[in-house]
Amino acid sequence: MDVVASVMTPGYLALRQHAAWLDLSGRGKIRVTGEDRARLLHAMTTNNVQALKPGEGCYAFFLNAQGRILGDANVLCFEDHFLLDTEPETSRKLFEHLDRYIIADDVTLEDETGRVATIAVEGPEAADALAKLGATLPDAPYSTTAWDTATIARISSTGPDGFFVFLPVGERAGLTARLTEAGIGAATPEDARVVRIEHARPRYGEEITERYLVQETGQLHAISFSKGCYLGQEIVERVRSRAQIHRVLRPLEIETTQIPEAGTKLTSGTDVASEIASAVFSPVLGKVAALAYVRVPFAEPGTELTLNGVPARVS
């Protein structure tokens, strides 16, 4: 594939150096209420949901009985409900998956995707940008604070710094106008994808799918190894106890301006060492940045690989 134009767009530069806003309202929002809500989510996810207190949250996977990943979610705890924030592609799938396991439980699911907008403010100056608008910001990852009729969660889709603002859909235009007036411009989905891959931030539906096991993704902050039973736990524990993964998701740098397709193989000598999951041209690096599933013997940072003779390395 030909290289994408290497121009550093305003949105890209803002996400890398300052702050920008992204309209992520298409992300799924599932509200979970009822007396048994924590017990059900604890039994259906990889993380310790029952330990969460109001204002706290976590990142978690939903698995099937074979330990394959059906989807992921930011699980946010409130006084009377949980909010599951998930990818647009998995919102309906996870809703139906949870609904299937509600039998005698006091649990109600509501799809709030169409009623609640999500505006992300991300980049190294994201906290300053929101504070200047009068927002009280949460400190811990996945924690939340109230801001008038909105809720702010410390979550980033592109890198280490950012916040999701959940608010009534009718108030979305007012917030984006205030951000723009404060000098915080919009970034495009293309800008966000480049920065996300540069920061080695995988996304369910692209780098993470049902094809992979939990440990292969490298997202171990999604797992509690000390919690009680949950769907798919037997496989997760078997992999952990036997150290039986053969590949792991790693960032690569490839010395080319030509973007390889997903599925492209890289080699070490005569051995197939890696398969690309996603790749972009990185303006800041001046070459291709990729996320790839690398065979464990070749997964150490600094390992040299080749792509049809082009040098690459695990970064």
pLDDT at 228: 86
Nearest-angstrom CA–CA distance, 33 and 84: 11
Residues in the chain: 315
pLDDT in the model for residue 7: 66
Question: Which of 226, 232, 298 is closest to 68 using CA atoms?
Answer: 232
Contacts of 15 (CB under 8 A, 6+ apart): 122, 123, 158, 159, 187, 191, 192, 195
Q: Which residue has the tokens 């400190």?
A: 139
For residue 231, CA distances in Å to 3, 101, 277 come to: 42, 11, 26
* Averaged pLDDT, 233-258: 93
| Spatial CA neighbour of 158 closest among 122, 206, 119 | 122
Closest C-alpha among 126, 158, 160 to residue 141:
160
Residues of the chain with CATH 3.30.1360.120: 10-197
Give the mean model confidence (pLDDT) for residues 165-188: 98
Pairing of strands 304-307, 287-295: unpaired
CB 192 within 8 A of CB 6: no
The tens digit of pLDDT for each residue in 49-68 reads: 999 999 999 999 999 999 99
Token pair of 32 as six digits: 């979970």
State pTM to two decimals.
Answer: 0.95
Query: pLDDT value at position 148?
Result: 96
Tell me, what's the pLDDT at 242?
86
CA distance 77 to 49: 9
Contact criterion met (CB below 8 Å) for 279 and 288: yes
What are 314's two structure tokens? 């695990």
Provide the Cα torsion 36, 140, 92, 39; round to 10°. Answer: -20
In angstroms, the CA 172 to CA 98 distance is 29
CA trace torsion 12, 140, 34, 48 (10° rounding): 100
What residues contact 148, with CB distance under 8 A and at least 6 apart?
none
Report the CATH number of the 10-197 domain: 3.30.1360.120
Proportion of the chain above pLDDT 70, given as a percent: 98
Question: Given 3.30.365.10, 3.40.50.720, 2.40.30.110, 3.40.50.300, which CATH number is that of 246-315?
Answer: 2.40.30.110
Q: What is the pLDDT of residue 3?
A: 45
Residue with tokens 């464990």: 296
Q: What is the mean pLDDT of residues 115-131?
A: 98
